[in-house]
Amino acid sequence: MGIDENGLGPRLGPLIVTAVVAETEGAGHERAEKRARGAMRARLGDSKKLVAHGDTALGEAWARAIGRRMGFAAPDHPEALVRAISLDPPETLRAPCPSAHAEQCWSAAGEAFAADQALVDTVARDLDRLDAQGIRVLRVASVVTCARRLNEAVDRGLTRFHADLHVMERLALDGRERATGDVIATCGKVGGFDRYSPAFGPLNGRLHAIVEEGRKRSEYSVPGLGRIAFVRDADDTHMLVGMASLVGKWIRDLLMARVVRYHRRSDPDLPDASGYHDPITTRFIAATRLTRARTQLPDDCFTRRAWDGGAGVIRRTKERD
C-alpha cells in the first residue's frame, strides 16, 4: 500500500488522504518501493512536481485507469468516480453540513473530466507495464475530511497532523480487511513526527513493535495489520505513494473548485483560489466575508482553525485584505 495526503496545510478546502493498493510478486515487491523509471517517471511521482492547481488531468487519468481495473463502469462524470473511490458514502460526507450551504462542498454542477482519452490509455498501459514487473495495482481509496471536521478535531485538542495520521491508519486497516494476509503500508511522513506511537488513533492500544524511528523513516510492526512506515519524500521515491498523491491532488483540486464556484454565484469576479496560503486565497477570503456573514455560512465550514498545543489556544488564521 502507498498512502499520502493532499491539502494538509491550506486555509480552505478539504484534507484528502488516498491509498493505492497493489499485490506484488517476485522482484515486484522491491520494485514497488522505488521510484518510477524511464518514460513513466514523467507520469508517476511527486504530485507537487507533476501537476499544479487547475491542471490535475494526470491525477484524474490515474484515477480513471485504476477505476477501470476495479471494475467501475466507465463513469461519465467526475462525481461518480469520486464516489466510487471514497471510503465514505455521500450521506456520511454530508452529515456535518448546514443544509443551506451543503452545495458549497458537494455540488458537482458544471464539472467534467479534463484528461483526454489518450492520456488515460497511456496511464492504463503504464499499469500493464507494472503488471509485467510483478506489481498488480488492485484499487484506490480516498478519505475526504472537510474543514468542519478538521475544526471539530481541533475542539478535541487534535492538530491537522493527528487528523492526517488517523486517516492513514484507517486506510491501512481497511486495506488489511480486504487482503488475504498482512499488508506493508508506506505513508508519506506526517508533519514533524519521528515517534508515531503516542499519536496513534485507530492503532492506539494495539500491540506493536518499533522497527525504526527517525527523521527519514519511522516504521512499526503491528500484529493483525503487518507493517506501516512513514517515509520522508515517499511520494517522490515510492511509486505507489506517488500514485496516491496524484489521485489525491486531483480530488482536492476538484473539491476546492466547488467552493470557488459556490461563492461566485454571489460575486462572479472572485479569483480562482487554491485554498493555500497565497495572496489569491487571501483576497478570496476577504472578498467573501460580507456575503458569508449575510448568508450565515458558519466560519467552521469555510476556514480552518489551528490549535497551538503549547499555549493550548485555539486560533483562526486572520482574515486580511
Contact 111, 79 (CB under 8 A): yes
pLDDT of residue 191: 77
Q: CATH topology for 2-255?
A: Nucleotidyltransferase; domain 5 (3.30.420)
User: 258: buried, middle or exposed (CB in 10 Å: 19+, 13-18, 0-12)?
Assistant: buried
pTM of the model: 0.94
- Percent of the chain clearing pLDDT 70 (strictly above): 95
Nearest to 108 by CA among 140, 72, 83: 83
Contact 16, 236 (CB under 8 A): no
* pLDDT of residue 320 exceeding 50: no
pLDDT of residue 317: 40
* pLDDT of residue 321 exceeding 90: no
pLDDT tens digits, 54-99:
889 999 999 999 999 998 866 779 999 999 999 999 999 999 999 9
Contacts of 288 (CB under 8 A, 6+ apart): 263, 266, 267, 270, 302
